[in-house]
Amino acid sequence: MMPPEAENTLAVALVQRWDDYRAQSKTCRQEFSEEAVHDLRVAGRRFMAVLDIMRAINPHPRVQKTRRFLKDQLDDLDELRDVQVMLVEISETIEHLPELQPFEEHLQKREKRLLRTALKQVQASKPSEWNKRIDKMRSALEKESRKPDFQAGLLQTVDNAYSRAVQDYAQMDGAQAATIHRVRIAFKKFRYMAEIVIPVLTDQPESYFKRMHDYQSAMGDIQDVEIFLNALADFAENMPHPARKGSASFDPKPIRRFYKKRHTELVAAYFEDKGELSTFWRPAPDQPFPWEKSNDPLHHPSRHRGASGDQRQRRRRQSTPVNRRGLEEDAQNREGTEGAGHKDRPDHDQPLPAGSPDGENPGKEV
């Protein structure tokens, strides 16, 4: 059961996540960098999860308008995120696959263009102008929370998000990466909503948030390879033919073999423990949560799923701030990606997320 303080859960989450988004937006405008952009994306997604719950309970136009702005901003930053993830990957692999060099140079130029555009977009946004709107949403939410069915409606919204993930899961096919991607998008939406409600539930395991993050990361790794292979194919198709005078040779075959093999391994690893999905939420409103079943121990992944998220942290580029001056610098000497990855900062969506149908670009994705 949900304790009395649950009445304030959503209002508190609205204020906290609004404050975090506003702070990250200010930081990003002042010191535009890969890490700052990532943190802004994460703060935006977490704030949007509150709005998703609010619009399910009471779809007021001001909630819809705020969410639409956030979604558009996240969509605008998706391509930059994907390019940066690919550059991180190349920095780790190019020693063994020197054929990647032309592709790396192409992505570096593309990143510079995207950074300039993103900087302008971030600087043009003014979240501080939303203060009155947020105050009105909070007041409306506090009134809504006094209704006798508020707690049930709050949990029902998360139930519905989980049910969507389960439905997509039932249609998942390991031979079709798009079906795994749909599960990831639905699961991510559920996960961010669950984070709002879980603190006021009881007896959930300490590992709950980390396991959800690792489960999502396993699917994110697959999607990142999909994005990489698609971008590689586009690049190879547009490369000048080596027979032409002055054109550089580029052979994508060794690269493609390498990443197709990795893709197969990642899909197999995820499918080995895909059933862990059933341990994150109750199957129906009249059913207990998995951790409430005393005779039904929680599933523990048989593989090193946690290593997936940790590995992503190690692989993050420690890029220099990409401010106005940084935009003019030559980004050839990229450092390794060792550090406490933005994506998860504290969790915060460790892997640089990719896109999604309902708030991100489905072909790629946060």
- Between 358 and 179, name the one with better pLDDT: 179
Residue 129 — pLDDT band, cuts 50, 70, 90? confident
Q: Please state the rounded mean pLDDT for residues 112-136.
A: 90
pLDDT at 254: 95
Write down the pTM of the prediction. 0.79
pLDDT at 292: 87
Question: CA 105 to CA 88: how far, in whole Å?
Answer: 13
pLDDT at 302: 56
Q: Please state the rounded mean pLDDT for residues 28-45.
A: 91
Q: What is the mean pLDDT of the chain?
A: 80
DSSP assignment of 332-366: -S-----SS-GGGTTTTT-S-----TTTS-TT---
Residue 310, token pair as written in the block: 């940790």
Q: Is the pLDDT of residue 216 over 70?
A: yes
Q: What residues contact 101, with CB distance under 8 A and at least 6 apart?
A: 94
**Sign of dihedral through CA atoms 232, 236, 242, 246?**
negative
Q: What residues contact 77, with CB distance under 8 A and at least 6 apart?
A: 37, 40, 41, 118, 121
- Between 5 and 147, name the one with better pLDDT: 147
Q: Please state the rounded mean pLDDT for residues 188-212.
A: 90
Residue 103, token pair as written in the block: 């592709």
Question: CA 343 to CA 332: how far, in whole Å?
Answer: 24
Which CATH class name applies to 4-344? Answer: mainly alpha
pLDDT 10s digits, 248-288: 578 899 999 999 999 999 999 999 999 999 999 999 999 99
pLDDT at 340: 31
Lowest mean pLDDT among 29-43, 66-80, 166-180, 337-351: 337-351
Q: What residues contact 138, with CB distance under 8 A and at least 6 apart?
A: 11, 14, 15
Residue 209, token pair as written in the block: 């948030």
pLDDT 10s digits, 57-96: 888 899 999 999 999 999 999 999 999 999 999 999 999 9
HSE-up of residue 230 (Cα within 13 Å, Cβ side) = 13
Contact assessment for residue 221 and residue 269, using Cβ atoms and an 8 Å cutoff: no
